[in-house]
Amino acid sequence: MSELDRVGRAAAVARAGEVVRAIESGALPNTVDVTVSEGVVLGLLKQGVNKFFGILGHGNTDIGEVLRVYAEAGALRFIQCRNETAMAHAATALSWVYGEVPAVLTSIGPGALQALAGSLAAAANGIGVYHLYGDETTHGEGPNMQQVPGGRQDQFGRLTETMGPSFTLHTPEALRDAMRRGTAAVHHPYAASPFYLNLPINVQPRRIEGLRLDALPERIDVAPLAPSDPAAFARVAELVGRHPRIVMKVGGGARRHADAVRRLAERIGAAVVLSPGSLGVLPDAHPQNMHVGGSKGSISGNFAMEHGELLVVVGSRAVCQADCSGTGYPSAKAVVNINADIAAATHYNRTVALVGDIGATIEGLLGALGNRPADEGARNAWLAECGARKREWAALKAQRCAEVRLDDPVWKGPVLTQPSAIAIVARFAREIGAVKLFDAGDVQANGFQVIEDDAPGETVTESGASYMGFAANGLLSAAVADAPRPMIAFSGDGSFMMNPQILIDAVAHRAKGILVVFDNRRMGAISSLQTAQYGPDFGTNDDVAVDYVAMANAVKGVKAVFGGTDARSLRAALQEAHAHDGLSLVHVPVYWGEDEIAGMGAYGRWNVGPWVEAVEALYARQAI
């Protein structure tokens, strides 16, 4: 078959539905002469990456032209955005919530830096996204406009490789290697990450003669691996038999293995403590679910952490707030750590590390454990102690989420507290089957204490980087996903104003979703931390009134409503917002102040500010 031009190749891929089928059918030649830019696009399409969030500039005009041709043919989708950080968040949400790995495309310099900053959310939470950045030319003819200044070679590559796997496509023939490294990062089975592909401006239009498309790597597919040494499982069985007071800490890595985690917890009689990223791995009402634990934590979750004598870790990285800055398990005498990452699996002392796929490893462990240990009495007593704390926590939560209103000097009258307002919106999300996206800050902290999920994926809380603006811009993913779901973003006023681009992008791409802005006119999480540590708050609030309803309604296509100051008004506003066929915004004034009923409280330790000396002293004495 004679060589097709670019338009013909794009049409062939679109008709076949994917690159491999187009080759197999004979519609697309296996060997092609293409530019580097087109080779990159074909390489990504071959891996199933067919959605590109992009902002075009002088640093990516060539690949932009390739995307135009392929988008017009229907072989891919290009989503034009207006802020690189915002589109990085949208791409992260698409990969996280819907399992579709997209690409983010930026020009050189400031745009790439903004996208790189936004990629921290994906990097911190183990989410695969391709990042394609324009880069300085390779001939050294002089500094390029907007390149990172300095006399060293590959300046931007130095930045991207610090964040994660990175490749500068300096040589056109290195495309195969770049694509192989890319899929190994973004499609990694247990430690996915962004992959940064830097594309020098002068390399993008270079021609690759005789590129074999069958030589470009497809998406990696790795079979689950599990420990094969029966001695390791025997050591775990011995520890489980010796210690009836077992606490199981479940991290975000366990989200895809909920059934296995539940069966293991029930078999060994463990009190299960969740991280913000693992809500729903055990159903909320399950008697062994002690809810979140850590620096914020909960009464029941932190009790189990404090008093458990055998710690079983499943898919957790021991992040500072999740394990109270290394002091979360003062009673633990031994650790079993089930994790696919060696560093995470060996974080604690006195550990039996079971390194491998979590689901496969648990299956092997269950086979080695046999029936539940014999000392049912001691294990039941331990779970009864934890269960009493769970009832205490449930009572406190019910009290603080019971549509509480307090007088607030900012709002000059009574308004809902943050937990009450979050609980109302969360119940509404459950009624309509919506995914809940949580932004950073006070909303996020109260949110993961309030939420009552029964399955993973009902809530996505970006606690890895706590990136302000993630939730609002994550709503754009609903406009791009193959099978979109209703979505509600929970955002504080501070987080929303960090990046309000969703107001325009959602209309441009017909995203439907609800953005709820919980407004206490301050950075509430930091204000509360300041008052807890030093007394007064400072530099975290202002007296600037913002009419968010008017602001949002100024964008044609957005429906904004005032959520009112009581539960009835908020529920009515949510119904009105949900009825809108597009993006809707609900503005909810919420209380901030020192009344303890206004928040869910904190129950652990954190190695920050004036608490450092005491926390570090306790850490130094801890055995594990």
Domain boundaries, the chain: 6-215, 230-390, 401-593
Write down the pLDDT at residue 2: 43
Write down the pLDDT at residue 374: 64
How many whole angstroms separate alpha carbon 528 and alpha carbon 576?
Answer: 33
Give, in order, the Cα–Cα distances in Å from 144 to each of 108, 133, 155, 202, 528: 9, 14, 12, 11, 46
pLDDT tops 90 at residue 604: yes
How do residues 39-66 score in pLDDT, each as one tens digit? 999 999 999 999 999 999 999 999 999 9
How do residues 486-507 score in pLDDT, each as one tens digit? 999 999 999 999 999 999 999 9
- Would you identify the CATH topology of the domain 230-390? Rossmann fold (3.40.50)
How do residues 505-538 score in pLDDT, each as one tens digit? 999 999 999 999 999 999 988 998 899 999 999 9
Give, in order, the Cα–Cα distances in Å from 484 to each of 51, 100, 479, 513, 602: 14, 11, 7, 10, 35
Asked whether 75 and 45 are in contact (CB, 8 A), the reply is yes
Write down the pLDDT at residue 145: 86
How do residues 169-208 score in pLDDT, each as one tens digit? 999 999 999 999 999 999 999 999 999 999 999 999 999 9
Judge whether 6-215 and 401-593 match in fold.
Answer: yes
Asked whether 38 and 67 are in contact (CB, 8 A), the reply is no
Write down the pLDDT at residue 525: 86
How do residues 556-569 score in pLDDT, each as one tens digit? 999 999 999 999 99
Contacts of 391 (CB under 8 A, 6+ apart): none
pTM over 0.85: yes
Asked whether 350 and 333 are in contact (CB, 8 A), the reply is yes
How many whole angstroms separate alpha carbon 4 and alpha carbon 346?
Answer: 54
Indicate the CATH number for domain 401-593.
3.40.50.970
pLDDT tops 80 at residue 345: yes
CATH number (3.40.50.150, 3.40.50.2300, 3.40.50.300, 3.40.50.970) of 6-215 reads 3.40.50.970
Give 458-480 as a 3 state SS string.
CEEECCCCCCCCHHHHHCCHHHH
Write down the pLDDT at residue 492: 96
Write down the pLDDT at residue 543: 86
Asked whether 305 and 328 are in contact (CB, 8 A), the reply is yes
Per-chain mean pLDDT for the chain: 95
How do residues 446-495 score in pLDDT, each as one tens digit? 999 999 999 999 999 998 888 999 999 999 999 999 999 999 999 999 99
pLDDT tops 60 at residue 386: yes
Give, in order, the Cα–Cα distances in Å from 520 to each of 94, 286, 537, 568, 588: 29, 34, 14, 19, 9
Write down the pLDDT at residue 1: 34
Q: 7-16, 374-383, 401-410: which range is least confident on average?
A: 374-383
Write down the pLDDT at residue 177: 97
Write down the pLDDT at residue 3: 62
Q: Mean of the pLDDT values across residues 273-293?
A: 96
Q: Which of 433, 397, 398, 434 is nearest to 292 (CA)?
A: 397
Q: Mean of the pLDDT values across residues 3-19?
A: 94
How do residues 127-185 score in pLDDT, each as one tens digit? 999 999 999 999 888 888 888 888 788 889 999 999 999 999 999 999 999 999 999 99
- Provide φ and ψ at 213, rounded to 5°: -70, -30
How do residues 295-339 score in pLDDT, each as one tens digit? 999 999 999 999 999 999 999 998 888 899 999 999 999 999 999
Write down the pLDDT at residue 463: 87
Residues counted in the chain: 624
Ramachandran class of 26: left when φ > 0, alpha when ψ lies in -120 to 50, beta otherwise: left
% the chain with pLDDT above 90: 90
Write down the pLDDT at residue 141: 85
Q: Where are the beta strands (DSSP E) in 286-412?
A: 289-292, 310-314, 334-339, 351-355, 405-408
pLDDT tops 50 at residue 445: yes
Q: Mean of the pLDDT values across residues 396-410?
A: 96
